[in-house]
């Protein structure tokens, strides 16, 4: 508020100060500042006009704010704009001409209108109307532009908040699914192998700690995501034993590339849940990361069949696509397909971040 008032008075000083300097420049150019009488006449008229202009323009602003004119429809703003300008021009002219008469500061043309007060006031109204019209025009344009910019910023903030909420909602669906699967794996070990169960709890604790930290991030380095995947697969390996084979094909140059947290882990989790777990003899899960042209390509390939009925829900297709769209727009891609009769491949393509 204080900054806005300071800016307003600064603009007032610049505007009326500029008018004063321009008027003095023209008076000097037309040799109107040569004698003491001319100096008194020019500075007297100019001082009166500027003071009245400053006072009345400030009162105009107060009236505009008091009736909340800037919040009305554009048509009403324009009508009030003309009426307010005309009203204060009449007041300004009446005061100005009366003061000029009292101090004998009328110019040659105004002296010709001396016998016709209507013409005398009308000439003053015209002068004030021109300057007040310009003043109001600048004032309204400034606030219109400021209001438009504020609305744009508010829209961007709202879109950002919606985006953040959507991401958090998607993550909220992912993390419980991961936790429950891991706990089921540990539960199976409690009676069978207590020592390994304790180790698994430690591993799960590490995964959850990492998961909680990623909640605050849109992306994490691939290397960090792979740590979660390795811990998760270590837990699942206890459940499936020899039925689960894990392979990695990671280009080390991709380890610093940003990826959405828990996204690749979710695809690995679904590969086991909807692929390996349904195979009597188990199968293979391959995690691959490499550069393909201008894209960072990530693959999760597993033994299994792509069921068209549950492909969207089982493999997290919808949530993965939504997250990629929210973070990277239409620059990222995700697809899932049946590679051959026994392999399903989920592929993510993200623009390379240099």
What pairs with residue 248 in β-bridges? 287
Q: Name the residue with higher pLDDT: 5 or 3.
A: 5
Predicted confidence band of residue 210 (pLDDT cuts 50, 70, 90): low
Compute the distance between CA of residue 190 and CA of residue 151 in angstroms, rounded to an integer. Answer: 58
Mean pLDDT of the chain, nearest integer: 83
Q: What is the pLDDT of residues 270-279, one digit of tens each?
A: 888 888 888 8
Query: What confidence score (pLDDT) does residue 312 get?
Result: 46
Predicted confidence band of residue 286 (pLDDT cuts 50, 70, 90): very high
The whole-model pTM stands at 0.51
Q: Please check the confidence at residue 311 and state whether its pLDDT lies above 50.
A: no
CB 229 within 8 A of CB 287: yes
Percent residues over pLDDT 90 in the chain:
34
Compute the distance between CA of residue 255 and CA of residue 48 in angstroms, rounded to an integer. Answer: 74
Give the pairing of strands 295-303 and 343-351: antiparallel
Domain ranges within the chain, ordered by starting residue: 2-157, 188-351
CA nearest to 133, candidates 65, 52, 53, 68: 53
Q: What is the pLDDT of residues 115-170, one digit of tens each?
A: 777 787 888 899 899 999 999 999 989 888 888 888 788 777 766 665 665 555 55
Burial profile 251-279: b = 16 or more Cβ within 10 angstroms, e = fewer: eeebeebbbbbbbbbbbbbbbbbbbbbeb
Query: What confidence score (pLDDT) does residue 315 get?
Result: 45
Q: Name the residue with higher pLDDT: 299 or 211.
A: 299
Provide mean pLDDT across the span 208-227.
76
Q: Please check the confidence at residue 69 and state whether its pLDDT lies above 80.
A: yes
Q: Please check the confidence at residue 353 and state whether its pLDDT lies above 80.
A: no
Q: Which long-range contacts (CB under 8 A, 24 or more apart) does 278-285 make?
A: 278/304, 278/305, 279/243, 279/303, 279/304, 281/243, 282/240, 282/242, 282/243, 282/244, 282/245, 283/243, 283/244, 283/245, 283/342, 284/245, 284/246, 284/247, 285/233, 285/244, 285/245, 285/246, 285/247
Q: H helices of the chain, where?
A: 2-29, 36-66, 74-102, 108-112, 117-187, 194-214, 222-240, 263-274, 311-314, 317-328
Query: What confidence score (pLDDT) does residue 181 get?
Result: 65
CATH topology of domain 188-351: Heat Shock Protein 90 (3.30.565)
Q: Please check the confidence at residue 55 and state whether its pLDDT lies above 90.
A: yes
Provide mean pLDDT across the span 44-60.
93
Give the pairing of strands 295-303 and 283-292: antiparallel
């Amino acid at each position: 508020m204080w900054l806005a008032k300071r800016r307003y008075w600064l603009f007032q000083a610049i505007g009326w100060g500029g008018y004063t300097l321009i008027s003095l420049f023209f008076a000097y150019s037309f040799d109107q500042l040569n004698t003491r009488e001319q100096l008194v006449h020019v500075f007297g008229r100019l001082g009166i006009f500027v003071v009245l202009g400053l006072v009345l323009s400030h009162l105009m602003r107060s009236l505009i704010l008091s009736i909340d004119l800037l919040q009305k429809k554009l048509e009403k703003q324009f009508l009030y704009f003309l009426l307010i300008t005309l009203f204060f021009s009449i007041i300004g002219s009446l005061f100005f001409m009366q003061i000029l008469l009292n101090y004998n500061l009328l110019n040659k043309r105004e002296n010709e209108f001396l016998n016709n007060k209507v013409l005398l006031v009308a000439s003053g109204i015209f002068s004030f109307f021109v300057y007040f019209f310009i003043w109001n025009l600048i004032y309204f344009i400034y606030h219109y532009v400021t209001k438009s910019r504020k609305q744009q910023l508010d829209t961007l903030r709202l879109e950002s908040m919606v985006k953040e909420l959507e991401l958090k909602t998607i993550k909220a669906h992912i993390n419980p699914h991961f936790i429950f699967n891991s706990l089921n794996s540990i539960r199976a070990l409690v009676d069978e192998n207590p020592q390994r169960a304790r180790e698994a709890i430690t591993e799960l604790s590490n995964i959850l700690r990492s998961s909680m930290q990623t909640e605050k991030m849109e992306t994490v380095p691939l290397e960090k995501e792979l740590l979660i995947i390795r811990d998760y697969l270590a837990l699942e390996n206890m459940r499936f034993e020899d039925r689960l084979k894990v392979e990695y094909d990671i280009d080390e140059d991709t380890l610093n590339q940003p990826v959405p947290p828990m996204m690749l882990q979710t695809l690995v989790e679904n590969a086991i849940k909807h692929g390996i777990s349904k195979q009597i003899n188990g199968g293979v899960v391959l995690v691959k990361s490499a550069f393909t042209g201008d894209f960072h390509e990530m693959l999760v390939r597993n033994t299994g069949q792509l069921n068209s009925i549950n492909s969207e829900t089982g493999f997290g297709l919808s949530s993965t696509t939504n997250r990629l769209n929210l973070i990277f727009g239409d620059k990222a891609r995700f697809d899932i397909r049946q590679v051959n009769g026994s392999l399903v491949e989920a592929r993510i393509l993200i623009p390379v971040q240099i």
